[in-house]
Chain A
Amino acid sequence: MTVMRYTKDHEWVREEADGIWTVGITHFAQEQLGDIVYVELPAIGRRFGQGEDACVIESVKAAAELKQPLSGEVLATNDALAEHPELVNSDPCGAGWFLKIKPSAPAELDALMDEATYQTYLAG
């Protein structure tokens, strides 16, 4: 079963094969931001600590950051977002992903929310 975890800042991480995790923002986050017109992605190979700003997300209105949900190294970025940033709005948990990372401190996952907890957090 696919494991997905969520941050209080409305990022998600999803476990893929071989200890690689995909990072994106949630449906709630894209809805709050509105039409996204520009995404700035980090260089492959960069290492971020948990909670560090890893990407810039610009909507028509303003700029926001994607904070790295887990410490680790960037293995890949979603190049499609350069031409089609609107994918983040239309498919935030699929084609609108941001990064693939290799976590360096997997224990950090324990502090993230599972689906049910995140839904409760949203409702709160």
Chain B
Amino acid sequence: MTTSASPRPTPLRALHVERGARLTEFAGYELPVHYPAGILKEHQHTREAASLFDCSHMGQVAIRGPDMATVWSALEALVPADLASLAPGQQRYGFLTNETGGVRDDLMLVHAGDHALLVVNGAVKADDIAYLRAALDPRCALEEHPTHALLALQGPSAAAALAGLAPDVDFAAWTFMQGRALAISGIACYATRSGYTGEDGFEIMVPGEHAERLARALLAAPDVAPAGLGARDTLRLEAGLRLYGQDMDTTTTPIEAGLGWAIGAARRRRGARAGGFPGAAVILPQLDTGAARRMVGLVGSERTPVRHGTTIANGAGEVCGEATSGTLAPSLGQPVALAYVTAACAAPGTALVAKVRGRDVPMTVTKLPFVPTRYYRGA
């Protein structure tokens, strides 16, 4: 999915350079891996205070139609989630599926009043947009926001930091997975209380021309420091959040990936709007019977990190799966990994081994998330 062309800058590139970021190419964009503090400190700072991430590589798309019922109906034909029940301002996680039940992409959808706002993965956004244009009900129109920036402010201090810049907003009433338009330092934005770190936080959509001014205002707020993709990856992994393209793709079903919870009752068998999405014939039976292979969390007792692609074996030494993401979890000081294993090996507490450089590294199947999430669900 990477392009041969040189990576595109985000609207915050100059600020990243000024802050001493080490830049890398990710999803066709030039983005910080980390700043001088380093990944571990940025990770820890996010868990203890608040970090600002540049997520401008992600795709932002508005879907408009004659009315919201038509918009949700069009999207429900492509996304197995209960979207029609979304109230204005409500956000939901979902995925685009293919005819074999695989995942084309995962995405966030929010009811933005008179349209739906979608945030999709940067690496596949061009494919997503082409697919949506071709497959969406023709009564709906897709509008790209290619020059918009996406800033994520994440951590226990995020709400206090943002409140200082948006004094008119009632942050106590603004709960997890809710979005709203607001002015931050006088800059008009649309933000959702959500993120990819397991912490309380906000994802802020803003026109590119205002992004740097907004980022500078946020970085000047108490307890806020910049963080890069490296910390974003260790944070999301500790929170048990899957990374599209690495933990799931067009060959894995949402049920295998452990994301069946995102398919609302209305879209399941015997639901009011059961099925009617690509791959329903594969996915819905799996919801009832379970998949033959399942994504699990693994925790190691030694310090050896278990990386993407590592073979997983059961107690008898028989291969039973493969790790898709792994690192030494900074908040735990232990290696953690996401892995697909056979159903027989998937129960929490099962002792498995990871084959690392010819050695058996003991791992235990563990409930996700590895680190408790701290989303704000109301006072």
- The residues of A that contact B169 with a CB separation of less than 8 Å are none
Interface of B is mostly: mixed
* Shortest Cβ distance from residue A61 to the other chain B in the assembled complex, whole angstroms: 6
Residue of A nearest to B34 (CB): A34
Task: List, in ascending order, chain A residues with CB within 8 A of B234's CB.
Answer: 60
Does residue B327 face the partner (Cβ distance < 8 Å to A)?
Answer: yes
Interface residue A56 (Cβ < 8 Å from any Cβ of B):
yes
A46: min CB distance to chain B, Å: 14
- Contacting pair B304 A40 (CB below 8 A): yes
Decide: A38 and B230 in contact? CB cutoff 8 A. Answer: no
How large, as a class, is the contact surface on chain B? 10 to 19
Q: How many residues of A contact B (CB 8 A)?
A: 12
| Contact indicator per residue, chain A 61-91, by CB within 8 Å of chain B (1) or not (0) | 1110000000000000000001000000000
Write the B319-356 contact mask toward A (1 if CB under 8 angstroms, else 0): 00000000110100000000000000000000000000
User: Are A38 and B330 neighbours in the complex by a CB distance under 8 Å?
Assistant: no
Tell me the chain B residues, 14-58 only, with Cβ under 8 Å from chain A. Answer: 33-34, 38-40, 43
Question: Closest residue of chain A to B328, judged by CB?
Answer: A37
Q: How far is the CA of A36 from the CA of B127 in the complex (A)?
A: 36
Q: 1/0 per residue B101-145: CB within 8 Å of A? A: 000000000000000000000000000000000000000000000
Q: Are A58 and B39 in contact (CB under 8 A)?
A: no
Q: Does A35 have its Cβ within 8 Å of any Cβ on chain B?
A: yes
Minimum CB distance partner of A59 in chain B: B39
Cα separation A56 to B34 with both chains bound (whole Å): 22
A61 with B305, Cβ < 8 A, contacts A34-B39, A37-B328 known: no
Q: Does B307 contact A (CB under 8 A)?
A: yes
**Chain A residues positioned under 8 Å from B233 (CB to CB):** 61
**Chain B CB within 10 A, most for which of A34, A60, A63:** A60
A61 CB contacts on chain B under 8 angstroms: 33, 39, 230, 233
Contacts of B357 in A (CB 8 A): 40, 56
Nearest-CB residue, chain B, relative to A61: B230
Q: Which residue of B lies closest to A63 (CB)?
A: B307
CB <8 Å contact, B230 and A60: yes
Q: Does B8 contact A (CB under 8 A)?
A: no
Q: How far is the CB of B292 from chain A (nearest CB, A)?
A: 30
Residues of A within 8 A of B (CB): 34-35, 37-38, 40, 56, 58, 60-63, 82
Apart from A38-B305, A60-B43, list 18 A-B contacts with CB within 8 A: A34-B34, A34-B230, A35-B38, A35-B39, A35-B40, A37-B40, A37-B328, A37-B330, A40-B304, A56-B357, A58-B328, A60-B230, A60-B327, A60-B330, A61-B230, A61-B233, A63-B305, A63-B307
Closest 9 CB pairs of A and B: A37-B328, A35-B40, A60-B39, A58-B305, A35-B38, A38-B303, A35-B39, A38-B305, A61-B230
